[in-house]
Structure 1
């Protein structure tokens, strides 16, 4: 760093141009009279005494009388400590500015657009740990490995965890996590053999999204909204889940059978109902008029959906519209819908088949 750069740095720290010029000159001279120092720098003689007093007050120099006013630079340790402290604060401030620019707070925002994948991933970990009902994940094998601790917490919370592992078409089974890696982590795992976005959907209200690695545009979307998350849910169901075969399935085959998705419930339970099986089901959800939480148990009476009934499981396309259950409870019937229910009595967030007889 040359003298001019040193002067500019001192000015950025706390000194005026005259003070920085006089101090750097005094460092060069060691000690000097006021008039000698004025001759060695750009400070006018009429101003040099004020400049020296200011530098002494700041601790940069000391003055003494020797026929005339003289000055010498102080031991620089205090100055160095001050300058280094300022440098650290500037560095910390720069890092904070960068962080706040790249990671706007999600609180109070329905949708936030961010630039870094790590911002999206960190947010995904946070919301997954708080999940209580359902988690849906689209991730690469490596992203899944990094997300495992958060998914384990959600699984322990009782959430249904559906994971779509995506990879290139040439990926072999040996390159995917061993099935034991899903124990206590996921309820069901499927393998999509095409690139896909990173998506995490939690409890019908929160979404974390980034385009797949080959996308031209690099950005992230953080959503805290019921309706927008429902849109991402249907993308997940149709493109990342429905057409791919399970590679891991920890769902029980005997009651209690737990569902977070009414359409999955209908596809698997309607054939049993048509065969004359009595289905005892518990419902947890919200009253569609009051919004209050409700829970009850009863006997499944009927299922209805927009498509026509078929033998076996109805395809997802027939369940994309209105899908509802009719449940007998204490001599009355209640209608139950799924995510987004409007005309039914209850929007179910969890359905549990308690008994099949």
Structure 2
């Protein structure tokens, strides 16, 4: 039970919500009073707990009186959560990509210093971009995240095979995230310190390739968190 509770809580439920959901999975359907008793949830809290589970898509009501609740199977819930998270991530990446494009248009030089001392570089041409990537890979100490289309990831693996193969030997984790077909955002995160965000469409010719290198722990953490969802 404790192990099941721990697993269910990873789906974004608190302790009472997890207990109620697991109880309903065992009993198929039950009234609030039964759930309160078997899941050890105070009667004063059980209706709020079930209402929250219903809003989150974990349980539904039966059209009977007194009201009974039944749980959706974990596989159904996971598919729903996965779809929602992917849609949310794609939307956030699209917004950020558009914001970076606006920054690109406003750049008056190839380097912009921000108030915190963090910097943004506009990098044009695949050779220049790959040089920047190599510099970042050589300095990485913890984690590298590569996010993009299947073809984009394959190109990075081929171009930096020797460097990427050497990273795990230094204790550096290399993670890949495959974007959905609806998302055009491609990026790399280095040690939660820097992000390389590609601005050009995928694929682009070597001369037309453009990217922004953002030296910012805040932005890097945002992309690292986004890559987990």
TM-score (norm 1): 0.25
Q: Work out which of the two has the higher radius of gyration on C-alpha atoms and give 1 or 2.
A: 1
* Bigger relative contact order, structure 1 or 2 (CA pairs below 8 A, ≥6 apart): 2
Counting strand residues as a fraction of each chain, which structure ranks higher? 1
Larger helix proportion of the pair: 2
